Amino acid sequence: MSHVVEIKSIYKSYLLGEVKVEAIKNLSLTVTKGEFTALVGASGSGKTTLLNLIGCLDNVDKGDVIIAQSDVKSLSEDQKSILRNEKIGFIFQSFNLIPVLSVYENVELPLTIRKNLDPEFIKSKVMSAISDVGLADFIHHRPDQLSGGQRQRVAIARALVTDPDLILADEPTANLDSKTAHKIIDLMIDLNQKKGVTFFFCTHDEKLMSRVQKIIKIKDGQIETV
């Protein structure tokens, strides 16, 4: 099986006022294609920092981050943007949908950034992603006309539409009630099993942790067990 993510001895620190905080310390891990992996740890353990480094939203101080065979530190900012757009899908706990856009337009957004895509191809990809999350009857709705669970489905469709190598999710069920959270978990597992989508997400949700293939525990910026 090929590795979608390879992280080798990375370090990341930042300044909090005048205090230097070592958020990630000598951390290494791999994520294999098709995995459904949860990153768990207490608040301040380094989960979000690690997710941002894998998502090319931040840079390591030292070490190597390799995403879909691309060494991130060798890429320009433009190249990182292309890597994010083509290889990585993002799901956020606050959904991050654009309020004035419809479901269709929110899902379409990552494809509009690309140049020279055929409009019919875009339409086909968008409709397929929306159908995959069960929202084909809601394509003209705006986010404020949807429930929390439906909004998260839109966010998942938006992450899927580019056929990414990896989907990163930051607390994907945190803002959902228990029943809705279970439905979102079912959906992600279904996409993982039927379409081979690779998921890597951080969570505090016991419901989600109990159903993943692999759990990675992080404490004080270091992996406890893999």
Q: Residue 224 has what pLDDT?
A: 86
Domain-embedded: residue 161? yes
Q: Domain of 152?
A: 33-62+72-223
Q: How many domains does the chain have?
A: 1
| Comparison of pLDDT for 205 and 176, the residue scoring more | 176
Residue with tokens 């080798």: 8
The 8-class DSSP code of residue 115 comes to S
Contact 220, 25 (CB under 8 A): yes
Domain-embedded: residue 188? yes
Domain-embedded: residue 23? no
pTM over 0.75: yes
Residue with tokens 């909004």: 151
101-118: pLDDT as tens digits:
999 999 999 999 888 889
Amino acid making up residue 178:
S
- CATH for 99: 3.40.50.300
Domain-embedded: residue 195? yes
Domain-embedded: residue 26? no
Q: Residue 92 has what pLDDT?
A: 85
Q: Categorize the per-residue pLDDT at 1 as very low, low, confident or very high, splitting at 50, 70 and 90.
A: low
**What beta strand segments (E) does 111-203 contain?**
166-170, 199-202
154-204: pLDDT as tens digits:
999 999 999 999 999 998 888 888 889 889 889 999 999 988 899 998 987
53 phi/psi in degrees, rounded to 5: -70, -40
Report for 37-46, 55-64, 170-179: range of highest mean pLDDT: 55-64
Domain-embedded: residue 163? yes
Domain-embedded: residue 107? yes
Dihedral sign computed on CA atoms, order 117, 121, 123, 124: negative
Q: Which two tokens stand for residue 171?
A: 């607390």
Domain-embedded: residue 27? no
Tell me how crowded residue 205 is: count the other CB atoms within 10 A of its CB: 21
